[in-house]
Amino acid sequence: MQMDGSYDFIVIGSGQGGVPFARAAAEAGKRTALIERAAIGGTCINYGCTPTKTLVHIAKVAQTVRRAGEYGVLSGPPTMDMPKARELKRQIVADFSNGSREQLEKTENLDLIFGHATFTGPKRMRVGERTIEGGAVVIDTGARPFIPDIEGLASARYLDNRTIMELDHVPPSLIVLGGGYIGLEFGQMFARFGSRVTIVEQGSRFLPREDADVADEILEFLRTEGVDVRLGDPVKRVRRSGGVEAELASGMFVKGDEILVATGRRPNTDDLGVEAAGIALDGRGFIPVDSRLKTSAEGVYAIGDVNGGPAFTHISYDDFRILKTNLLDDGDRTTEGRLVPYTMFTDPELGRIGLSEDEAKRKGIDYRLCKLPMDYVARALEMNETRGFVKALVSKETDLILGAAALGIWGGEIMSMIEIAMMGGLTAKDLANATFAHPNLSELLNNLFG
């Protein structure tokens, strides 16, 4: 077969791991191809972190206006200009994506190829009319919304996390299928925009990966804001007749003007032709990798959401650092033992790091629990943002911090401080005795660990 190009590295997908690796390889003098079939930046920039957190902040502004009277500020109820909010979101996305593309196009030794890549053999693929091969291949194709097989859903003109952000109006009522992070962030967001929101979660336990006290607190503040959350009653069928009607397994009906499907993610592997390259998939279609991100095929690596690991941008970026260390810098780095922080951007935020209480109990770890409600925190009281609490698990044997959940104003930033302490091997006593500037939120660590 006639080859149109031979590269040292081929990167498929321009996500938050693929872009920096392609640039690093090219800057190291390796002939590199980066293949992208859509917009530069992957899910995070185009459909995930960047646009959603822009809209989350706009929803926070609307809620602040709504609460203005609590602060002695006289104001009327907020009215949303969704076309303007959408344009702000679009502009920020375009700035991020176009800036990344410009950097790539200026990088020597790097070919940016737009098109869909399909493997035709080991480390060989077709992109449009071209056939190229590489010394090594990095797959960073990410994931897309998982659409459940529910009767009538396909014809109900449903929204997903991409299309809901393109609405030019606030739907009077919104049904959200799924009570995970995506569903909760969008559910609260549109409730603050002015929609009447119903979240339908098929599981009987709300946020089952979180401790019960954390999940219960989040459920309570959502309901306080008027969000109707239905648990343990999955949708049986969906019908659109003007609006949308969802019949639940119990026989009850939920009606709305629009329906958002937020029931998880599926990997973008079904049209890659992985069988031709000898790349194994797991039962859900993800690409299993070892601790060095190697797939079952020699010289082929998978990073980011497509490998079935924690689906976070910062994990994808750390995957890049592992590959850079091992393939470009002559080092040896793995995923073993890496901390996995994450934040759910509801308001208040939930920041999580390390072990939860449930995990510690299952593993038989002897710990002591440190817990502080946010209405014991001076700065939170001064801002009238006292919902939530911070809790941490501390080893009884070593006094080291094992994990933490920060549910409160700027919870992700509080969690990050605790993560730094964990990385540095600081003990609970160290934080209890530290001098933090008053009245910063960081000061709560004195009382939490004291």
Q: Which pair of tokens denotes residue 450?
A: 């004291």
332, burial (CB in 10 Å: exposed 0-12, middle 13-18, buried 19+): exposed
Half-sphere exposure of 275 (CA within 13 A, CB side): 3
Closest CA to 229 of 265, 176, 150: 176
| Phi, psi at 144, each rounded to 5° | -140, 170
Residue 329, SS3 per DSSP: coil
- The active-site residue out of 57, 116, 314, 438 is 438
Question: Do residues 15 and 41 lie in contact, with contact meaning Cβ atoms separated by under 8 Å?
Answer: yes
DSSP 8-class letter at 109: T
Residue 295, SS3 per DSSP: coil
349-354: strand order across its sheet: 342-344, 349-354, 401-408, 389-395, 367-373
| Phi, psi at 398, each rounded to 5° | -115, -15
Rounded to an integer, what distance in angstroms lies between the CA atom of residue 428 and that of residue 416? 15
Which residue type is seen at 309? G
Strands (E), 249-366: 253-256, 258-261, 265-267, 300-302, 342-344, 349-354
Q: Which pair of tokens denotes residue 395?
A: 């080893």
DSSP 8-class letter at 324: I
| Phi, psi at 38, each rounded to 5° | -130, -135
Query: CA angle at residue 179 from 190 to 144, to 5 degrees?
Result: 85
Rounded to an integer, what distance in angstroms lies between the CA atom of residue 199 and that of residue 5? 50
Residue 314 bears catalytic tag: no
Give the DSSP H/E element, type plus range, for residue 341: none
Rounded to an integer, what distance in angstroms lies between the CA atom of residue 328 and that of residue 8? 11
Rounded to an integer, what distance in angstroms lies between the CA atom of residue 114 and that of residue 22? 14
Catalytic residues: 438
